[in-house]
Amino acid sequence: MSQRIHRLIEMALALSFNRRLTLFKGARLFGRVRKSAESRVTLGPHARVDGLDVHGRGTLRLGARVEVKNLSIDFGLSDGMVDIADDVYMADGAKLIVFGRLSIGPGSIFGPDVVVVDTVHRHGVGVLLRTSGVDVRDVSIGSNCWIGARVSIMPGVRVHDDVVVGAGSVVTRDCSRHHVYAGVPAKMIKPYES
């Protein structure tokens, strides 16, 4: 059965005690939880969320067995979407500013305090930043990636599958498969060893 059909069946069977908060079988949401009324949050089977802060209007979808701690998301009022696939692990304190779409592939892991942003404030001579609006550039992180502690991922970046990003890096460009990146800005430092 395709993953899509499987997911639809799971949706139908889901225990939904609030139209905007859906917990599948075995999912746990605990710790400090703050969720705006306009956001929708779905926790897949056996997902485990210890602390969650969701601001603005958007959708957060966590796959099966995802584990996160003190995850903070700001959707603004843009109907953003954060799609975190099965078996993702995020250490304490990830901060995601997502006005467009962020996807994180299965089995990827985050060190603590990772930041992902997909918005660029329009700026220039005489432009008032509070009112100038933002340009949105979607971000995607592939499957089986290791994003080190305190990494920042900038708007429009695509991190392909099987990539390591070293601690403290600022990722401004796409990262290609089977490579290790590090630094500010992040550069490829080596290919995966075979």
Q: Which residue ranges make up the site for ligand COA (CB under 6 A)? A: 91, 111, 148-149, 164, 166-169, 180, 182-183, 189
Of the pair 29, 91, the CB lying nearest ligand COA is at 91
Of the pair 49, 182, the CB lying nearest ligand COA is at 182
Contact 43, 29 (CB under 8 A): yes
Minimum CB separation of residue 157 from ligand COA in Å reads 17
- Which member of 123, 160, 178, 179 is catalytic? 123
Give residue number: closest CB to ligand COA: 166
| 178: annotated active-site residue | no
Half-sphere exposure of 108 (CA within 13 A, CB side): 26
Minimum CB separation of residue 173 from ligand COA in Å reads 15
Minimum CB separation of residue 163 from ligand COA in Å reads 11
Nearest C-alpha neighbor of 10 from the set 53, 59, 65, 58? 65
> What is the Cα–Cα distance from 160 to 141, expressed in whole angstroms?
6
Of the pair 100, 111, the CB lying nearest ligand COA is at 111
Q: Which pairs with CB-CB distance under 8 Å and at least 24 residues apart come from 58-65?
A: 58/82, 58/98, 60/84, 62/88, 63/87, 63/88, 63/106, 64/24
* Catalytic sites, residue numbers: 123
